[in-house]
Structure 1
Amino acid sequence: MHDIRAIRDDPATFDAALARRGASPQSDALVALDARRRACIAEAQTAQARRNEASKAIGAAKASKDEATAQALMAEVATLKERLPALEAEERTLDAELNAALAAIPNLPLADVPDGADEDDNVLVHERGTRPDFAFQPREHDAFGPALGLDFETGVALAGARFTLLRGPVARLARALGQYMLDTLTAVHGFEEVVPPLLVRDEAMFGTGQLPKFAEDLFRTTDGRWLISTAEVSLTNIVAGKILDEGALPLRFTALTPCFRSEAGAAGRDTRGLIRQHQFDKVEMVSIVPPEQSEAEHERMTACAEDILTRLGLPFRRMKLCTGDMGFSAARTYDLEVWLPGQGRYREISSCSTCTDFQARRMNARFRPDGSKATRFVHTLNGSGLAVGRTLVAVLENYQQADGSVVVPEVLRPRLGNLSVLEPA
C-alpha cells in the first residue's frame, strides 16, 4: 500500500518508479481522487462547525425574542442536518475508491534493482558450490524417482494433475529435509518456530498482497476462507494491527507448512515432476524490523537460505531480480537457484524479498521508537528457507548414481537412522 501524501508531495518520482515496473502513470488520477476526498471532508467539517454555531445562535435569538432570526437559523440547521449524511456517505465512497486504487498498485523498486522486462534481465550476484561431475548421463528426477517412492500416477488419481504421492524412502527424505531446514533456522540462525493456521481470512491475504489482485492463484474454501499459498501470509500477519515496542524488534519467524497454489497462470509449464505442484511443503522465513535494519536483514535472510544449500552440498547461484520479474509486494528480491543436473540448468528454490513498509501499511503494523510518542510503520521481509519439494528434486538429481540409487547428504543421515543411500525398489 502506498502513502497518498508521498504521492501528492512528489508525483513525478512515484510515476517514474512505476514506469520502471512497466506500469503507466497513476499519480494524476490518484491525486485528483484524493483532492475530491479531501474537499468532501473539508465541506463536511465546515458544515458541522456551522451547524454547531447556528444551533447555539438559535438559543440566543429566542432569548432576545428575535423569532425571525431563530426561524432562519432553524431552517439552516435543518438543511445542514440533511446535507451532512450525504457528505459522510460521499467521503466513505471516495475513501474506498482511493484505497482500492492504491491497493492495486505494486510496490516501488529500490534504487539498486536492475531495470528489465523479465527473468532474462535478472543479474547474477554470485555462484556457490561445485556442480557434480557424472561418469554417466544424469537423469531428471521424474525418470528414476518412481523407483524410490515418487508416485505420480496415484497422486493424479487421487487429486488430479500437479499432485504427487510420496512413499517410502523418498517420503522419509522429504520429511528429513523439512525438519533439517527448520532446525537450522531456529538453532543456528535464531528464528522462532511457529505452527500457523493454514486457513486465513480475507484481511490476512490482503495484508501481504495476495488479494485482491491474485485471487485466481489461490484456493478458497466453501466458508470464504483461503488456503495459504505460503506461510508468509500467516507469519507476517502476526503483527497486523499492532503497535510494537522498538525493543521487541527484530522479530524473526519460521514455519514448515503445506502451501496451496492454483497455478492459474502456469498452464503447460513444468507439468512433469515435482517442480510445480498445487500442494507442496515449504519452510518460510519472515522478519519484522525497523526501517533502518531492513537492508541488513535482507542480506542476512538470504544468507540463511544459502547456508542450508551449502550444508546440503547443493550448487546454487544468487540472482537479483529485475523490475519486471519481481513479485507484487517486493521492493527488492534475491532468487536462489539450485543446479539441476537432469535439466542441465539452474531452477529457483528460494525467493527472499524486502517489502519495505508496503505490507505494513496494508496491515497497519507499526512500532513506537524508544523515547517517542509517535509511531512508524515496520518493514517486513520474507524468504523461502527452502521449498522442500524443489530441494528434494535437487538432492535426487545431484546425488543420483548410475544404478538409480541416491546418496543421502551427510547432514541428513542422522535423521534417517544413518541411512547413507536410498536404494530403488
Structure 2
Amino acid sequence: MPSTLPVGDPAPADGALPASAAEGSAERDLGVYLHVPFCRVRCGYCDFNTYTASEIRGVKQSDYAEQASAEVAFARGVLADAGLAAREASTVFFGGGTPTLLPAADLIRMLNAVRDAWGLAPGAEVTTEANPDSVTPESLAELAAAGFTRVSFGMQSAVPHVLATLERTHDPARIPLVVRWARDAGLQVSLDLIYGTPGESLDDWRRSLELALAQHPDHLSAYALIVEQGTKLARQISRGEVAQPDEELQADQYELADELLAAAGYGWYEVSNWATDAAHRSRHNLAYWTGQDWWGIGPGAHSHVGGVRWWNAKHPAAYAERLARGVSPAVGRETLDAETRHVEDVLLRSRIVDGLPIEVLDADARAAVAGLIADDLIEGRNAIAGRIVLTRRGRLLADAVVRRLLP
C-alpha cells in the first residue's frame, strides 16, 4: 500500500498507557473511530489503508466485526487500567474504506461492542461513511434503528467524466435517491465532495455543488484533490496521461463553494466543512481538531489519549493475528512533548471557526497578528476579542498563516 505509518517507539504489547494520559481527562471527550478497510474497487487517487477482495490474503470480511469488537474489549481494559474507563463515548465514527460494504448487522455488532464497553453519552453522534451504491432503504433503516444518527455519502462529483477520472463507480443520479432513503430512516445527511480533479472545469464544479445543495444536506465537506505519492493517479500524472491539478483553479473552486454555500445558509466551521447550524457540525471531526481523546479501531487506525498517540498494524491479517494472540494491535507509539502539542494545537485550532486563542501564542506570534489582519488573512474583529479566525483568503492560505504563528 502507498501510505506509510509514522516512525515512533515500539508500542507495548499490553497497550498500557502512562499515568500522564489520565491528567485532565475529565475535561476531554472520548470518541471512537472504527476503520473498515474494505472497498469494492480502489480509486486511483486514494492512499487510505484499504483493500479490495483480491488484495486480502488469509482474511475474510465476514470475520471483521468480531476482530474489531475484540479490539474494543481490549481498549476498554487498557483505559480502565489507566483510570479512564468512566467516560461514555460521545462520538462514534465508521470510516474506511467503505463501511457499508459490510452487512448492517456487522456494523451494529461493532457499535454494540462500543456501547457495552463504555456506553454512549446522551445525544451521542454515531456516523457511518457510505458510497451511494452501497446502501439500500432497508440497510439505512436498520442502522438508524440501532442507534446510528448520521450518514456521510461519498458523492465527490455530479459530473460523469469527473467521477470516471476519480474511478468512482456510482451514478450521480443516485444521490437524490440515497439522501431520501437516509431522511426516511431519520438519519442526518452529510455529502462529501472533491474539487480540482484533472479535467474538471469551474462549471463542472458548480454543477456538483448545485446538485449537492438541491438535496439540502445537513452538512457538506469539500476537499481539494491532493495527489499522493504511490497512487495510481500520481503515476498517471508522472507519465503525462493526466494533467496535474491546477492550484489557481482549485482556489477559484473553493471560493465558488464558499459563496454558494453561504448563500444557501451554510456556515463554514472548518476550512473544508460547512453545516446548516452548529448542531449539525461533525462533532467527531471537531474532536480531532480540538485535541480530545479517541481510540482508533482497525488496521492502520491511529489513536490519541492524553498526549499519547499510537497506530495499529496496517494489514488486516497482521492486525487479526495480534488480536488472536491477545496483544495490542498497535505497532508504534509516541508521547507528545509540550512543544509538539503546542504546534499541533496552533495548526488544528486555527482551521476552525471557533478560532485559536491568541493567549496561547508566544510573543513573536502575537506580534504577527497585526500583519495577518492587514493582509486580510485573519478577521480583525475576532482578533480584538482575543481569537485567531481565518478570513476566506486566510482559509485558502491557511498553511502560510500557521507558518507566521509558529516563528
User: Please, what TM-score do these two structures have when normalized by structure 2?
Assistant: 0.23
Query: In terms of Rg, which structure is larger?
Result: 1
User: Please, what TM-score do these two structures have when normalized by structure 1?
Assistant: 0.22
